[in-house]
Amino acid sequence: MARSWLFAPGHIEKLLKDVSRVGADEVLFDLEDSVPPHMKDRARVYVTEALTSKQAWVRVNRPRTEDCSRDLAAVGGLAVGLRIPKVESPEDIQWVRRRAPTLPLTATIESALGLVRALEIASSEGIFNLAFGGADFAADLGIDDAGDEETLYGRSHLVIVSRAAAIEPPCDGAYTKLNDDEGLRRVSQRARRLGFGGKSSIHPRQVPIINEVFAPSRADREWAARVLAAYESSRGAATKLDDGTFVDTAVAQRARRIAAFAG
């Protein structure tokens, strides 16, 4: 499970060369929104060249478009995985799968229609996880802000359908205020509490904060170790810690997830 997903605009050759040095769990070479329309072809060339020496995911253009067809023809045999923007149906996923049948896919939900069909999308073959596209989602709903309160229902829904479809937890959308470290930390912590597994980033300075927030803290790891020790000692029976914390199967399951992620 990746904590941080760092975008690198595909038309800026220097960024493609430098981006993997900043500690992001996954790098996303972008061929979509960050690339001006007249530079799409150049971006495909730069991204293809970069993928010969670097492992990275690629965000392609909207499925079932000519731009996406060209993207897949260029990078489908080189990318680690594909992030698909503006997904609104399982058919969007199937269209990509026919052209890139072996790659793991992230489906980005960015509209009301995509949200309504999120469980079908998450259950499609090849889906690794979902991602939330806050800016486009807010624009589709006609609201002024893609903040926590305004998008709470949609983001929580993605967490629930991801679990129901037995895929990885979703990736939260990028925080666009690049100089607001405390704001980034705050929204990342809320996303983690909501059940997101990681967050997109649009600048290297955001990566350390995201990695820290979405990794188990020392207190989390110590708590998990105590819970698992108590649960094993009780041979799976309900028990409690020295501080009175109740431990049963559900609590032990959470402790196992923390221990596995920490490992």
Domain ranges of the chain: 4-214, 218-262
Percent of the chain clearing pLDDT 70 (strictly above): 98
pTM above 0.85, yes or no: yes
120 and 81 in contact (C-beta within 8 Å)? no
What pLDDT does residue 12 have?
96
Give the fold, CATH level 3, of 4-214: TIM Barrel (3.20.20)
Strand, coil or helix: 262: helix
What pLDDT does residue 198 have?
97
Of 20-34, 55-69, 92-106, 141-155, the least confident: 141-155
What pLDDT does residue 263 have?
67
> What mean pLDDT, rounded, does the chain reach?
92
For the residues 205-211, what does the mean pLDDT come to?
96
Nearest CA-CA partner of 25 in 47, 56, 61, 51: 56
pLDDT digits (tens, 9 = 90+) for 141-180: 999 877 778 899 999 999 999 999 999 999 999 999 999 9
Count of all residues that appear for the chain in the document: 263
Q: d(Cα 135, Cα 33) in Å, to the nearest integer? A: 11
CA atoms 108, 134, 207, 205: torsion sign = positive
pLDDT digits (tens, 9 = 90+) for 109-133: 999 999 999 999 999 999 999 999 9
pLDDT at 182 over 80: yes
**Counting beta carbons within 10 angstroms of the beta carbon of residue 203, is it exposed (0 to 12), middle (13 to 18) or buried (19 or more)?**
middle
For the residues 247-257, what does the mean pLDDT come to?
79
E-only strand ranges, 157-229: 171-172, 198-201
Amino acid at 44: R
SS3 content of the chain, % helix, strand, coil (to 5): 50, 15, 35
